[in-house]
């Protein structure tokens, strides 16, 4: 029960890795998991599934680009459950749907959701954690925050690189507040809702050739990495980047 008594808020938790993490946190005894997303129906379904299995969860509408909504989501969590122990900044969009890899509107969208969305989460989440003596922030970057790819909008790499470094800045600034801040870097995973080229089976088969383990990852494999960083098992780990990519960036 590695999440026993902990209160967690997960952005983008209506599906994919966010929902897998919400389910795992609940199974690991979380006092409450707040599922936050812009997809209200899917988010409510994730909550219903968790509660049916005996866990504790609630849903909140949160567009991570909206500062007032972030403030309200963190306030609601603290009002409802007394504290915030774990924040997973998971919401994101893909850069692989863009054909013009220098499209300016796409740059703004990618940076707004993937980078500013994480910044705002840290701004309000860490302030709440400091009030109750500490906590753990896990930011979803990507291997695209470590190496470049020729087939993604440059804003995806830039936004995920920003997440990698605001994580380290957060770790440097809040270590003495008892707040740990780490990033997780998935590799080839099930396609995102917003994937374009990277969802194409031929493209995925080509990419797989560069993955030493010879297969794509599963959402639960990322959720377990997030769980480790969220839990007290990682009590002396902050500012690190945990790569979950089957060895892709090792070669
Ligand atoms: P997904 O598309 O299944 O889930 C992303 C979630 O974020 C969705 O539920 C979506 O509704 C939500 N979201 C999008 N915009 C939002 C906004 N403005 N406000 C709130 N929620 C919003 O994708 P996933 O594969 O589960 O990805 C989760 C995270 O992991 C993302 O940050 C992604 O960039 C990263 N990642 C994914 C992969 C991959 O191949 N799937 C690889 C590396 C990193």
pLDDT value for 104: 98
CATH code, domain with 216? 3.40.50.720
Measured CA to CA, the distance from residue 130 to residue 132 in angstroms comes to 5
pLDDT band per the 50, 70, 90 thresholds, residue 186: very high
Query: DSSP string spanning 128-141?
Result: HHHHTT-EEEEEE-
What is the per-residue burial (b if ≥16 Cβ within 10 Å, else e) of 191-230?
Answer: bbeebbbbbeeebbeebeeebeeeebbebeebbebbbbbb
In the predicted model, what is the mean pLDDT of residues 179-192? 98
Q: Write out the catalytic residue numbers.
A: 156
Q: Please name the helix (run of DSSP H) or strand (run of DSSP E) that holds residue 94, with its range, or none.
A: none
Q: Choose among 2, 15, 71: nearest CA to 43.
A: 15
pLDDT value for 72: 98
Q: What is the mean pLDDT of the chain?
A: 98
Measured CA to CA, the distance from residue 214 to residue 151 in angstroms comes to 21
In angstroms and rounded to an integer, the radius of gyration of the C-alpha atoms of the chain is 17
pLDDT value for 50: 98
pLDDT value for 127: 98
Is 239 domain-assigned?
Answer: yes
Please tell me if the CB atom of residue 15 comes closer than 6 angstroms to any atom of ligand 1: yes
Measured CA to CA, the distance from residue 226 to residue 215 in angstroms comes to 20
Q: Whose CA is nearest to atom 8 of ligand 1?
A: 12
In the predicted model, what is the mean pLDDT of residues 183-193? 98
Is 2 domain-assigned?
Answer: no
pLDDT in tens, 158-177: 999 999 999 999 999 999 99
Is 1 domain-assigned?
Answer: no
Q: In which residue are the tokens 């936050």 written?
A: 36
Is 85 domain-assigned?
Answer: yes
Is 49 domain-assigned?
Answer: yes
Angle at the Cα of 61 from the Cα atoms of 59 and 67, rounded to 5 degrees:
130
Which residue range is the domain that position 176 belongs to?
A: 7-250
Is 124 domain-assigned?
Answer: yes
Please tell me if the CB atom of residue 63 comes closer than 6 angstroms to any atom of ligand 1: yes
Distance of CA 41 to the CA centre of its chain: 20
Ligand 1 centroid distance, CA of 96 (Å): 13
pLDDT band per the 50, 70, 90 thresholds, residue 125: very high
Domains contained in the chain, number: 1
pLDDT in tens, 37-73: 999 999 999 999 999 999 999 999 999 999 999 999 9
pLDDT value for 163: 99
What is the model's pTM?
0.99
């Amino acid at each position: 029960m590695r999440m026993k008594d902990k209160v967690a808020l997960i952005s983008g938790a209506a599906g994919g890795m966010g929902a897998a993490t919400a389910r795992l946190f609940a199974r690991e005894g979380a006092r409450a998991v707040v599922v936050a997303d812009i997809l209200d129906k899917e988010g409510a379904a994730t909550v219903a599934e968790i509660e049916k299995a005996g866990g504790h969860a609630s849903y909140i509408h949160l567009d991570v680009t909206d500062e007032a909504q972030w403030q309200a989501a963190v306030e609601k969590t603290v009002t409802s459950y007394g504290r915030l122990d774990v924040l997973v900044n998971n919401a994101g969009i893909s850069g692989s749907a863009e054909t013009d890899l220098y499209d300016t509107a796409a740059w703004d969208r990618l940076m707004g959701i993937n980078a500013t969305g994480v910044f705002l989460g840290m701004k309000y989440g860490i302030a709440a954690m400091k009030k109750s003596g500490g906590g753990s922030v896990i930011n979803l970057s990507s291997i695209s925050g470590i190496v470049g790819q020729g087939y993604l909008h440059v804003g995806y790499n830039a936004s995920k690189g920003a997440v990698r470094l605001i994580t380290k800045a957060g770790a440097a600034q809040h270590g003495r507040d008892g707040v740990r801040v780490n990033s997780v870097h998935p590799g080839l995973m099930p396609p995102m809702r917003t994937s374009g080229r990277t969802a194409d089976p031929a493209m995925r088969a080509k990419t797989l050739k560069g993955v030493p383990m010879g297969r794509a990852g599963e959402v639960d494999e990322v959720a377990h990495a997030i769980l480790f960083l969220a839990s007290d098992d990682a009590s002396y780990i902050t500012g690190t980047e945990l790569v979950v990519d089957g060895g892709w960036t090792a070669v």
